[in-house]
Structure formats: C-alpha cells, structure tokens
Structure 1
Amino acid sequence: MASEQPIVAGVAGRYATALFDLALEEKALDKVRADLDRFDELVAGSADLNRLVRSPVFTADEQVKALEPILKQAGIDGISANFIKLVASNRRLFAIRGIIKAFRALVATHKGEVAASVTVAEPLSDQHLASLKSALNAVTGKDVDLQVEVDPAIIGGLVVKLGSRMVDSSLRTKLNSIKTAMKEAR
C-alpha cells in the first residue's frame, strides 16, 4: 500500500525504491541492507573513497574500475555490488549515501521497525538498555532499532529522538530552564 511506504523522493528515492523492489523480489533484503551499511561505513571512514564518490572529476568508467576491488575486498557482491556499479556507471554515485538512507527507511517500514536515537551521559548497562528498548517498543507498538550515543555534556538523564518526536530529560536542559526562569524572575 502506498500510504504505508515512507516518502522517498528525487534521485535517491527512485534508485532506493528500485533496489528495494528488486531485493524484496529476490528475498535478499537483509543481505542488501548489510552490504549497503558496510559500503556506507567505508565511504564515511575513508577520505579517498568519499572523494571518489563525490567528485565529478572522475569518469563513470574510472569510478566503476576503482569500486570493483573495494567491493570485492569488503565482501560486497551480488545485487548490492551490481547496484553500486550501476549507480556509478549512470553518474549518480554522488547520491549513494542518500540512496542508502532512503533504502534503510524503506526496509524499516517494510519490517515494521522504527529508528530511535538516544543520547546518554555515560554508557548504559545491558539491563538499562533492555528496559529502554522495551519501553520504546511499548510506546510505538513496533520493533525499535536503537542507536545509543554517549555525550558527557548532557551531564545526566537522556535525550530520546523517535521519528519526529524528541524527549529531552537531560540535566543540562533542566539546569538551563532553571537558569532562564531565574533570569525572568528578576
């Protein structure tokens, strides 16, 4: 149903939708998702690969030739490798990270997952992490893919971002609110 699909637009959306349909048809969603996640990490972690992906100086053939050993070394093959090379040969490699993001959104919607980002002042124990995930699952009624970030600057508490909603119960925010209230009281 179209209403259940997330909105993906532009070049990234068209490519992601085509890849999603193919991966779903071939029953390879999880493999393609894992391969694209691995490629996205490679691009994010390498200035040279990022330059290859983003720079218009390289021809499509040069990009495809440079990608082949990288994909092989990373263990990315099949649909994923062919897709990345197709994107490069069509001179759209600059959009690959957006395509990957849109693909993740399509897969998450298909699987009934919701992404949540949680910022904490110090690492959570396994018990606290499980409790938090359970609470978020109960609130959403869906399986929550939890990304935890540690930021000591929030002092204590946590900041939860779930879709378009955000709950900030950090000590830093509470202290800033008190400080503002005291200034206004003068």
Structure 2
Amino acid sequence: MSDSFSRMPLPLASRRYAQALFDLVQEAGYVKDFEKAFTSFLDILNRNTDLKRLIQSPFFSTKEQVQTLDSICESFKFSDEGAGRIMRNFLRVIVENRRLFALSDILRAFQCYVASFRGEASAHIISAHPLDVHQQEELRVALEGVVRKKISLHLSVDSTILGGLIVRLGSCQIDASLEGKLSSLKLALEKEVS
C-alpha cells in the first residue's frame, strides 16, 4: 500500500478498474496470489525512479510502456497462466487506456476490495505524534467494536494537526484533531462577528 495517506477519496476510474480486476481475480480463485504479486510489483515500481518516470510521463509511447512492463513481468517470472496472465493483461489494458499513472490508486482500491472480501477493514490514522503499541491496540479494539470487522491500522504522523487524531475508515472520516477543532472554532467566531 502507498506510504502516503491521501485525504482525498480514490478517483472513480481507479475504483472501477480495481473492482473489475478484483471480480476477475476472485472468479479465477487467485485473490491471495494476485494481491501478493501486485503489491510486490508496485513496490519495485515505486523504488525505481526511471520506472516512475515511465509511468508518470505522457512522453513515452504505449508501445514503450508495454515493452518495459512486459520485461518487468518476465523478471518477475510471471507465466502466461493464472495470476501472472491476469497481471500482464491488466497492465496492458491500463497502458492502452493511458491509465498507467493511476496504478498506485488502483492498487489501493484493489486492496480495499480484498480486505472487504476477507471481512476486514482498513483504518487510516493520522496523529500528531507516533502512537505507542498500547494506544494502537486500544484504537484497533474500539474501531473493531464499531464496525464489527477485523481492523488493519495504517498509521502516519502529521505534526501540523497539533494534537488528537484523524481517522478514516472507508468513506467516513472523523477529524478529532486539535487543528480541526481550532478551525471549527475560528469559523464559528467569524460567523458570530459578521
């Protein structure tokens, strides 16, 4: 999963690609294998600046992108069977549709579908300071009690929120940060003054 936490929901196109991919992988019975392969593949892409440029730049032709991704698939030893075949075909589709730049968002959406399939949910937590193990467990237990699913926490630290937490669980976001409370207070005071 992406290291950075986005406060914006995933783009609709990325969710649609991810849903179609998940449906195909689930129907074929390769959810676990594909998720592992896809995550590894994206990790390599994210660590290589030349590959990042290939993905983000509109100056590379579709043919160049397909050739590069095919050679990466070869190095991964993706066969023309099973999850490997689905991976190759999927990458070709997003390249041909000029959506390669959205690969990271598609993976995030795909992982959400996999988590839902397993009866799990991901909670993205932003805190002003790192949470210790005890705080993480308390938060996980509280969230699991609310949603009645196994919760996977994805933590990030953002000192600009000053204190408290911002919790995103699915499409719900709870802003219990000091920054959020101060902003609300400022708006209320401005409304009273005007």
1:50 aligned partner, one-letter code: K
Structure-2 residue corresponding to 1:109? 116
Q: Normalising by structure 2, report the TM-score.
A: 0.71
Structure 1 distance, partners of 2:60, 2:186, is 54
Q: CA deviation at 1:153?
A: 0.8
Aligned partner (choices 163, 167, 180) of residue 173 of structure 1: 180
Contact 2:122–2:169, Cα closer than 8 Å, also in 1: yes
Structure-2 residue corresponding to 1:94? 99
Aligned partner (choices 152, 155, 168) of residue 148 of structure 1: 155
Structure-1 residue corresponding to 2:52? 50
How many pairs are equivalent? 177
Quote the sequence identity (%): 32
RMSD: 3.2
Q: Report Cα offsets for 1:100-153 as digits up to 9, x if no partner.
A: 344323322211222221110111111111111111111011122221110011
1:130 aligns to 2:137 (yes or no): yes
1:104 aligned partner, one-letter code: Q
Q: CA deviation at 1:159?
A: 0.7
Q: Report Cα offsets for 1:63-112 as digits up to 9, x if no partner.
A: 34322443455x46354443333234442463461543443233222112
Aligned partner (choices 33, 36, 40) of residue 34 of structure 1: 36
Q: Report Cα offsets for 1:27-66 as digits up to 9, x if no partner.
A: 4312211221222333344442133235555455533432
Mark the CA change 1:82 to 1:62 in structure 2 (over 3 Å): closer, same or farther. farther
Structure 1 distance, partners of 2:50, 2:171, is 34
Contact 2:124–2:167, Cα closer than 8 Å, also in 1: yes
Structure 1 distance, partners of 2:27, 2:12, is 21
Deviates more, 1:86-95 or 1:148-157: 86-95
SS of the residue aligned with 1:159?
strand
1:149 aligned partner, one-letter code: S
Mark the CA change 1:54 to 1:86 in structure 2 (over 3 Å): closer, same or farther. farther
Structure-2 residue corresponding to 1:121? 128
Contact 1:54–1:94, Cα closer than 8 Å, also in 2: no
Structure 2 distance, partners of 1:130, 1:29, is 28
Structure 1 distance, partners of 2:90, 2:167, is 35
Structure 1 distance, partners of 2:58, 2:184, is 47
Structure 2 distance, partners of 1:131, 1:60, is 48
Q: Report Cα offsets for 1:6-33 as digits up to 9, x if no partner.
A: xx976873x5455434533554312211
1:41 aligned partner, one-letter code: D
Mark the CA change 1:80 to 1:182 in structure 2 (over 3 Å): closer, same or farther. same
